[in-house]
Each structure stands twice: as structure tokens, then as C-alpha cells.
Amino acid sequence: MPARFSLLVVLSVVYIDMLGIGLAFPVLPKLIEQFEGGDVSQTSYVYGLLAAAYALMQFLLAPLLGALSDRYGRRPVILLALVGMGINYVLLAFAPTLALFALGRMIAGAFGATFTAAGAYLADITPPEKRAQSFGLIGAAFGFGFITGPVIGGPLGDIDLRLPFLIAAVLSLADFVFAFFALPESLAPANRKPFDWRHANPVGALRAVGRYGSVLGLMAIFVLAMFANRVAEMTWVLFTSYRFGWSNTQTGLSLGMVGVMFIVGQGGLVRVLVPRFGERRTILIGLAVSAATCVLYGVVPQGWMVFPVMVLATFGWTIAAPAVQALMSRSVAANEQGLLQGALTSMMNLTSIVGPPIWTGLFGYFVSSAAPVIVPGAAFFAAAAVFVVTLALALRRFRAVPTPT
């Protein structure tokens, strides 16, 4: 089957999966707030802890799923993830207590493997020199789902906070049916690798890919930047509701705008900037712009002003992330792309374990009566500082280590 068709199919699978996640995203904090009796500060802490629990499950299981995809192929792992997510959304739609809702979020984390397997899938079918563009297309599919998901999920949440989860369940199960019939296997039998439990855990996977000299330094850059980038993901609904008084619909529209910028950045700008400037310069540009946009998000006094900042943010981590992934994928062997993506996903989710309690905690503290001064943008200012540190690390690393081939 032509590689172009396989690329379109796997991108559509990622899009539909992200659409389901995006549907539920605008209503998650509001639903937790309902469980917590309307306490905004307490909701911030609980929301952060639930996000960390979700990420913990992905952190623990992503290397296992990556190793399984290296052994049995990408297709069965993607299909398993889609079924698990569909069942999880049904549980979330009907959970009567916060404890059961938290269980549902942990199940969602356990089955959140489509991104890991999709990344390995694209590495299988794409020449090394074009992988930054392909990883950018995954980001674009991710962003497109994030446009349509929140834009639809916000109004649905205004009707009923549980309704987006039911729609997400239907979409995930429909995505499974589509992938079952349309998604071919990408990993040739000759490139499959025996399953090894030593590599099917975060520490073992990181140690295995770490024997490639350039991977660990790039991984450090990626992890720090992802940690800083989590600030908007974790605090956006809380921040905009508190600072600007936005409704679910307004929040959904703003998240849709984020998705538009993702598509423009990872689907378009990456394909122009990486060939022109190379992966390394693209990474440096992205980190510098991200630091600036975090400061701007924290200081803008009116809601409409965040939209011009979103346009600037398109040149930030949005374009840098695929370039980092491409450099790492060029550093490992063909039969270890799943291992790399599993390790990468685990590290990404490590930032989602550590990040949410920190970012939502900063927001919750600086809008509470305990704070010496009310600063709703405090988390954004802290994230800007992390981006500056990451930029310094990248400059030092790139001067010391030659480009991987």
C-alpha cells in the first residue's frame, strides 16, 4: 500500500482520537468544580492531581506499549488504545463520584497510546531527512482535533457537562472500526524486535535509547520544554475563567484557536522553516519565542488580547517540538523507533505528572486569600523562566555535539 495513503490513514486516526479528547477538555475543570461544590481554588488542586494521575499511567505504560509495537507491530497497539479510550469515556460520562471519575482518568492514561504508536508508524514509513515534517503533520492532526473538539465540546458542556464524554465515546469506537479496516501495518517483519521486559518500563527504555550519544541531551531539552509548555494546557480554562470571566463556549473557541495555530505551525511552518534553517536553529527560535509568549499571556489585561499572542506562539514550541523529535529519531535504529517513542512518551508524561500540580498549584495559590498579592499569571511567568533555562541548555548542547545522521 502506498506510503502516502498509510500516512493519511494514521493521521486521520490521530485526529479522531484527539477530537474525542478535545470534546471533553473544556468541561473537565467545570465538572470537578461541581464535585467540589464550586470552590475554584480547591478545584485547581484536584484538577492538577487528576491530570498527574492520568500522566502517571501513561508514563508507566508507554514504554510497554512501544516495546509491544516493536515486537507485534503498530496496528494492534493503536486498535487496543482506541477501544480502551471508548470504554473509558463511557465510565466518565456516568461516574457518580469524584473517586470513580479519577479511576476513569487513570484508565484513559493507561490506553493513551495512539500518539506513541503513531510516532513510530510515521518513522517506519518516512525517510529520516523528512521526519520533522511528518512529526509536524501529527501535530497538525492533533491541532485539528483540538480545534473541532473544544469548539463542539464547549457548547455541549453548556447543555450538560456529561454530554461531551458520551460523544467522545462514540467517536473513539467509530475510530476503532475505521482503523480496523483501513490502517495497514507499517513495521516489516524483518524490522521487528524480540520483546524484552527490561526495556518495557520507563527507566529501561530510557537507558536503552540513552546508549545513542545524542539522545539524552535532546531528551533533556524536550522534557524541560514540555514541562514549561504544560502551563497553558493545565491552567487555560482556570485562568481565562478567573481573569476574563469566559464561559464554556468562549473557552472552547479559544482552544479552537490554539488548534488552528497548531495546524499552521506544525502542518505548514515546520515544512518551511526546518528545510531552510535546519532542526537546531528551528529549536532555538521556538524556545525563545515560547519564553516571550508566556510572559505576554500573563500580562495581557483583556481577553481579546490573548489571540494575537496565540499567533506569535505559532513560532514557539509548536515548531520546535517536531524538530527535536526528528533529531532523536535519526539517532536510533529502525527496529527501535517504538522503543524511542515509548521512552519519549514516558518523558512527556513525566512532565504531566510533575507539571499539573505545580502549574495549577501556582495558579490556585496566587488567586487565593493566602497569597501576599493576587497574580493570576504567576504560572505563566514561571514557565517563561523554564523556557529561558532550556534555551541556554540547547545552545550549550548544540555547540558541543555534532548533528546526528
Domain ranges of the chain: 3-184+198-400
Task: Flag whether pLDDT at 285 surpasses 90.
Answer: yes
Reported as half-sphere exposure (CB side, CA atoms, 13 A), residue 298 has a value of 23
**Residue 392: its pLDDT value, please?**
94
Q: For residue 208, report the phi and psi dihedrals to the nearest 5 degrees.
A: -65, -45
User: Which residue, among 111, 104, 62, has the nearest Cα to 348 in the 3D structure?
Assistant: 62
**Residue 164: its pLDDT value, please?**
84
Which of 78-82, 241-245, 332-336 comes out lowest in average pLDDT? 332-336
Q: How confident is the model at residue 224 (pLDDT cuts 50, 70, 90)?
A: very high
Task: Flag whether pLDDT at 1 surpasses 60.
Answer: no
**Residue 368: its pLDDT value, please?**
83
Sequence-distant (≥ 6) Cβ neighbours of residue 322 within 8 angstroms: 132, 133, 135, 136, 138, 139, 266, 270, 274
Task: Flag whether pLDDT at 377 surpasses 80.
Answer: yes
Neighbours of 1 (CB within 10 A): 12
Sequence-distant (≥ 6) Cβ neighbours of residue 11 within 8 angstroms: 137, 138, 140, 141
Which of 155-164, 171-180, 201-210, 246-255 comes out lowest in average pLDDT? 201-210
Which of 17-21, 252-256, 324-328 comes out lowest in average pLDDT? 17-21
Domain 3-184+198-400 - what CATH class?
mainly alpha
Q: How confident is the model at residue 375 (pLDDT cuts 50, 70, 90)?
A: confident
**Residue 140: its pLDDT value, please?**
72
Q: What is the mean pLDDT of residues 162-166?
A: 85
Q: What is the average pLDDT value for the chain, to the nearest integer?
A: 80
Reported as half-sphere exposure (CB side, CA atoms, 13 A), residue 255 has a value of 37
**Residue 192: its pLDDT value, please?**
78
Task: Flag whether pLDDT at 8 surpasses 80.
Answer: no
Angle at which helix 337-366 crosses helix 114-125, to 10 degrees, equals 140
Q: State how far the Cα of 45 lies from the Cα of 32, in Å rounded to an integer.
A: 10
**Residue 293: its pLDDT value, please?**
94
Q: How confident is the model at residue 60 (pLDDT cuts 50, 70, 90)?
A: confident
The pLDDT tens digits for 16-44 are 777 767 777 777 777 888 887 777 777 77
**Residue 296: its pLDDT value, please?**
95
Task: Flag whether pLDDT at 270 surpasses 90.
Answer: no
**Residue 308: its pLDDT value, please?**
93
**Residue 402: its pLDDT value, please?**
58
Q: What is the mean pLDDT of residues 264-272?
A: 81
**Residue 113: its pLDDT value, please?**
57
**Residue 381: its pLDDT value, please?**
94
Q: What is the mean pLDDT of residues 103-108?
A: 81
Note the pTM of the prediction, 2 decimals.
0.65
